[in-house]
Amino acid sequence: MGKVGLGALSRYRFHVRKPQTLFLAGVLLLAACAGQGGETTTSSASTTSVAAVATEPDSTSPSIPTTTPETSGPDTTATPNTTATPDTTTATTTANPEFPTCDEDPGNSEVLCSTVGLIEEYYVDQVRVEELATSAIASLDDANIPAPDEEDETCSVPTEDFAAVCELAVENDWDVDKTSAQATTDMIRRTLDPNSAYIDPETTELFREVQQGSIEGIGALVTTRNESEQVCDPIGDGCRMIIVTPFEGGPAAEAGLQPDDEIFTVNGDDIAGRSIDEVTAVVRGPEGTMVTLGVRRDSEEFTIDIERAAVEVPVVESDIINGVGYLRLNQFTANAGDQVRTALEKFGSVDSMILDLRNNPGGLLDAAIEVTSEFTDSGGVVEIESRDGMESYEVTPGGLATDRDVPLYVLVNEGSASASEVLAGALGESGRAVVVGENSFGKNTVQQQFPLPNDGTLKLTIARWHTPGGLDFGENGITPDVELALDPAATPQELVDQTLAAVG
């Protein structure tokens, strides 16, 4: 992606360098980060949001905002080394003379101006600017936006199609910055896929902290699901926020949260109408602070008070059990490849191996390639298709566990998402591994985070991926070669025994 050119309709240009990091993540991590460590990501699987989330700036538990735009997950993706700055190119589109175009003066509409330009240039699918404008305007029908702190504000339009946004702001004496942010939030929500989102400045800062490593919060992975068991946004009628898995020994598990529990209130506030990223931003927080969750389990409703704590989430867990090398990979962080290699070195000579990817929400594409390369010495890993075309990623030779005489079994379940599906798909398709377990999550999109002029972030789906053989797991996930329901609480010994019995 070189310099971003002037779009056919949008008149706001950006200088954007090609992203250094791509994110493949499917569920969100309800924890806040503090300290040092590897990167984590989340594309909300709802948005894909898999997002690892960050610490609240103070020790209080804030209420869910009612007028501010939504935050990610899980993309909690690392922000690529990109910038988005307005160009001074003269606009050729005629706009309402009351309101300058974004090229002339973005004024207090920078968020909307920037977002429209980036969507037009980078979004995975072509979107008509008229559709974006219609969604942005419709989002303001019942808006409750405060008056500006300062009288001297400039409301600008990407094209004349957006003039009604500024007209409403002027007529109702709305703060233009907040109008721009709300229009952007709902424009994305109504028009784009559920893994794209506007992330406000406060949550952007929290997500940056997540990339540091160790986490504080309740220790659980969450996602959203609709009646068709697909990710959805926003939360509300027909779209539930559910627990994928609580981390063993973490506050959520100790408090009794279980997989498939639905969260419907946080600190007494109904979360309907919010994005998964907004909700996770409120749930997470510093060690020692409290959060109260309203939970539905089957037909029962109850509340749970949880004290946030530091949660250890080891990237890799490994052991040798009766001649079987068992390796569990929890996330595809920046150092996941190194940790997997270290574990394989300790295995030495084993009869077979089990790679456990259950409840692994995904992470960095580079990490997925590195880990795949440890188990197979040639061939493709994944193909990523964006509007710029197709790009293939190949195995890097030199892996430690490429001997096909040593059987490899890859364990997956519905919490195995994105980068986990890339790895399982590549190893299964090449014949290197037998995939065992339950259908995986089913996320086939790639997100990039673009910084915005207000210090917020646009999390945008820029590509889709499929296996080198052309298989697309975005709809139903990976169907295992051997179907096996594995108890989430099973010990490594039990997992080894059950897996070997199932594969014969």
Classify residue 453: in a domain, yes or no. no
Classify residue 375: in a domain, yes or no. yes
- Which residues, other chains included, contact 224 with Cβ-Cβ below 8 Å and sequence gap of 6+? 44, 45, 46, 47, 194, 231, 232, 233, 235, 239, 240, 241, 242, 276
Verify that 147 and 100 share a domain, yes or no.
yes
Verify that 95 and 185 share a domain, yes or no.
yes
Q: How confident is the model over 493-501, as a mean pLDDT?
A: 97
Verify that 250 and 274 share a domain, yes or no.
yes
pLDDT given for residue 204 in this prediction: 81
| 20 φ, ψ (degrees, to nearest 5) | -85, -20
Verify that 239 and 335 share a domain, yes or no.
no
Q: How many C-beta neighbours within 10 Å does residue 457 have?
A: 26
Classify residue 170: in a domain, yes or no. yes
155-192 b/e with 16+ CB inside 10 Å = b? bbbbbebbbbbbbbbeeeebbbbbbbbbbbbbbbbebb
Verify that 59 and 157 share a domain, yes or no.
yes
Work out the pLDDT band at 449, boundaries 50, 70, 90. confident
Work out the pLDDT band at 368, boundaries 50, 70, 90. very high
Classify residue 11: in a domain, yes or no. no
Last residue of a domain, one of 311, 331, 349: 311
Residue 265, H or E segment: strand 262-266
Q: What angle do CA 21, 386, 127 make, to 5 degrees?
A: 115
pLDDT given for residue 23 in this prediction: 57
pLDDT given for residue 222 in this prediction: 86
Verify that 344 and 304 share a domain, yes or no.
no
Last residue of a domain, one of 273, 292, 311: 311
DSSP assignments along 441-479, one per residue: ----EEEEEEE-TTS-EEEEEEEEEE-TT----TTT-PP
Is residue 409 exposed (0-12), middle (13-18) or buried (19+ Cβ within 10 Å)?
buried
Domain that holds residue 481: 316-444+464-503
Work out the pLDDT band at 309, boundaries 50, 70, 90. very high
- Quote the number of domains for the chain: 3
pLDDT given for residue 5 in this prediction: 22
Q: How confident is the model over 61-75, as a mean pLDDT?
A: 30
pLDDT given for residue 214 in this prediction: 56
Classify residue 262: in a domain, yes or no. yes
- Taking the mean position of all CA atoms in its chain, how far away is CA 44? 3
Contact 326, 351 (CB under 8 A): no
Verify that 233 and 177 share a domain, yes or no.
no
What is the dihedral sign for C-alpha 283, 288, 294, 298?
A: positive
Verify that 376 and 275 share a domain, yes or no.
no
- Taking the mean position of all CA atoms in its chain, how far away is CA 76? 6
Last residue of a domain, one of 141, 174, 201: 201
What is d(CA 283, CA 413) in angstroms, rounded to the nearest whole number? Answer: 25
Work out the pLDDT band at 488, boundaries 50, 70, 90. confident
For 116-232, where are the E strands, in sequence order?
197-199, 215-226
Q: Would strands 408-412 and 434-437 be described as parallel, antiparallel, or unpaired?
A: parallel
- Count helices and strands (H / E) in the chain: 11, 21
Classify residue 10: in a domain, yes or no. no
Verify that 219 and 274 share a domain, yes or no.
yes
pLDDT given for residue 64 in this prediction: 32
pLDDT given for residue 361 in this prediction: 85
Verify that 321 and 307 share a domain, yes or no.
no
In tens, the pLDDT along 211-246 reads 444 567 898 878 888 988 777 889 999 999 999 878
What is d(CA 142, CA 416) in angstroms, rounded to the nearest whole number? Answer: 39
Q: Which residues pair with 297 in a beta bridge?
A: 300
Classify residue 257: in a domain, yes or no. yes
Q: Which residue has the higher pLDDT, 170 or 2?
A: 170
When mean pLDDT is compared across 23-27, 193-197, 354-358, the lowest value belongs to 23-27
Q: How confident is the model over 23-44, as a mean pLDDT?
A: 39
In tens, the pLDDT along 69-90 reads 222 333 333 333 333 443 433 3
Q: Would strands 457-466 and 197-199 be described as parallel, antiparallel, or unpaired?
A: antiparallel
What is the dihedral sign for C-alpha 168, 173, 177, 178?
A: negative
CA distances from 236 to 49, 69, 276, 303, 431 (A): 16, 16, 11, 18, 42
Tokens for 438? 């339950």
Q: What is the DSSP letter of 151?
A: S
CA distances from 288 to 37, 257, 361 (A): 21, 18, 26
Q: What is the pTM of this model?
A: 0.67
What average pLDDT does the chain have?
Answer: 81
Classify residue 491: in a domain, yes or no. yes
The SS3 call for residue 29 is strand
Verify that 438 and 424 share a domain, yes or no.
yes
Q: Which residue has the higher pLDDT, 102 or 72?
A: 102
Q: How many C-beta neighbours within 10 Å does residue 331 have?
A: 28
The residue among 143, 198, 153 whose CA lies nearest residue 175 is 153
Terminal-residue alpha carbon distance, the chain: 48
The SS3 call for residue 90 is coil
What is d(CA 271, CA 234) in angstroms, rounded to the nearest whole number? Answer: 9
Q: What is the CATH number of the domain that holds 361?
A: 3.90.226.10
Question: From the CA atom positions of the chain, what is the Rg in Å?
Answer: 23
Verify that 305 and 321 share a domain, yes or no.
no
pLDDT given for residue 229 in this prediction: 78
The residue among 304, 274, 45 whose CA lies nearest residue 282 is 274
Q: What is the CATH number of the domain that holds 285?
A: 2.30.42.10
